[in-house]
Structure 1
Amino acid sequence: MGRTSWSEEHVRWLRENYRKLHPRDIHAAFNARFGLDRPWPAIRDAAKRRGITGCKPPSIFTAEQKDWIRANFPRHRRPEACRLFAERFGATPDAAQVMRWAKANHVRSAWDGRYRQGENRGGENWRKMVAHPNSIATRFSKGRRPDNERPMFSERVQHDSATGAPYVLIKVPLPDPHRPHLHYSWIRKALWVWREAGREIPEGHAVVHRDGDTLNCELGNLDCVPRAVLIWLNAPWAPGYAGPDANPARVRIAQIGHAIARLERTAGPLSGPAADDGDRA
């Protein structure tokens, strides 16, 4: 068998049409153009030897089928459009292939994701959840309060996260600034007792316990002092806690020390000739 010859016109035709057509169309068009009967493997190998590659992959859809999808898909939803396609062209290509081709070629259907009034969404045949009869007794009904809810003015002990000291919280009918939907709040009992007695807590002041027992919230055991006094109570040089009987004196010493320091800051130490004359006198 002699070697098949390829003229310049053959090669030029392959370069112009190879990437535009499918392999089956290239085979038929080449033989029809030049009146030959060359098999597809020979045409493919000749193009490959000359660096001509990348022919268009074959498609399972004909031109008529593609035109039908582009014309009818926008007017129907996908299941209906696929059914009409099968009635027109048969079961091949199937519905999944039709939808994949439409999506790949940006052909949208009439479905916009919204149900129309009166449409069946497919949920009427779902099995409804059947509650156990014993759950009736424990269901939450309107107006019912939780069993673990504490009554108003209940008390509980909590520990400070920094010092670990215990303090008493009381539930009062005041709105919670951190949870506005609640009609109550938990505040320190010492503050509540002080305010209920008609006494104010000025800005920059704090309520302290005279005997040092933070769980004793009796009014006679409370005192309102500037916050600067707390430094004198908690400083390393401050007198140590010596029991509930001596602690009131400890608080007074801290108040006196704070008052002296404030006067020194305001008036300043005596200095100059007048102070010297006074010292000599």
Structure 2
Amino acid sequence: MKQKTIDWLRETVPGKPWKEVYKLYQETFPDELRKLSYIKTVCYKNGITNGLNGQFKKNRVPWNKGMKGWYAPGSERTWFQKGQSSPNERTIGSEYDSAGYLLVKIKNEGSRYDKWRPKHILVWEKANGPVPEGHVVIFLDGNHKNFNLDNLACIPRGIHAILNRSQLRSDNADITKVRITQAELKRAIKEATRHD
């Protein structure tokens, strides 16, 4: 870019939004076909800034001051009434797939994580009680749709990490069980040798 143009940018850019600068640039230099991104790069390399960061200046009044509670006329027809539920609200017991895991709605109140629980954990807990702290329930054959109790195992998070890190998972449940034992043994050896 020519020095004359850079000097023009030095004078013009401060205090103006980039779109306005670009419009003025096109009017002033109609024969120079440059994109706004190029002009911004030239300004950046030459230490030219518009000084605008999108923040309100001190004592500047926002456009919506005093409009609390304002709404477009007619929009009140679509407001929820007290006690009314959303038409797409799912009932307790509903299921949906989230990233390959089936979730079951267990209650209507609370956050999303309070309302929905993974189905495989619910199946395991129904037979065995709550999942112990620091443990996870896994699918032994890797099939996230196989909720057979024989296909679910509750293992410590540390063993789970070893299975993932060492790629010991298998689509055969029996092989995965053996590899869990292998991971537990590996962990026990590591613990025993740490104290030597």
| CA RMSD, 1 decimal | 3.5
Q: Which residue of 2 aligns with 1:212?
A: 142
| Residues 239-269 of structure 1 deviation map (CA, whole Å, 9 limit, x = unaligned) | x63x4xx2x1232222221232233234449
Change (3 A) 1:253 1:139: same
Give yes or no for contact 1:232–1:257 (8 Å, CA) kept in 2: no
Aligned pairs for 1:163-202 within 5 A: 166-173=100-107, 176=110, 179=111, 185-202=115-132
| Runs of 5+ consecutive residues of structure 1 not aligned to the other structure | 1-128, 160-165, 272-281
Quick one: which amino acid aligns to residue 259 of structure 1?
E
Q: Residue 153 of structure 2: SS of its match in structure 1?
A: strand
User: Could you tell me how far 1:154 is from its partner in structure 2?
Assistant: 0.7
Corresponding position: 1:157 with 2:97: yes
Change (3 A) 1:130 1:230: closer
Q: Which residue of 1 aligns with 2:188?
A: 263
Q: How many residues align?
A: 124
User: Could you tell me how far 1:230 is from its partner in structure 2?
Assistant: 1.9
Q: Which residue of 1 aligns with 2:174?
A: 249
| Runs of 5+ consecutive residues of structure 2 not aligned to the other structure | 1-71
User: Could you tell me how far 1:173 is from its partner in structure 2?
Assistant: 1.9
User: Could you tell me how far 1:147 is from its partner in structure 2?
Assistant: 1.5
Change (3 A) 1:231 1:253: farther
Q: Residue 197 of structure 1: SS of its match in structure 2?
A: helix
Q: What TM-score does the superposition give when structure 1 sets the normalisation length?
A: 0.37
Change (3 A) 1:130 1:188: closer
Q: What TM-score does the superposition give when structure 2 sets the normalisation length?
A: 0.50
Aligned pairs for 1:129-168 within 5 A: 140-159=80-99, 166-168=100-102
| Residues 144-200 of structure 1 deviation map (CA, whole Å, 9 limit, x = unaligned) | 3222111111111011xxxxxx11111112753xx3xx8x61121122222233423
Structure with the greater alpha carbon radius of gyration: 1
In structure 1, distance between residues paired with 2:189 and 2:84:
62
Quick one: which amino acid aligns to residue 228 of structure 1?
G
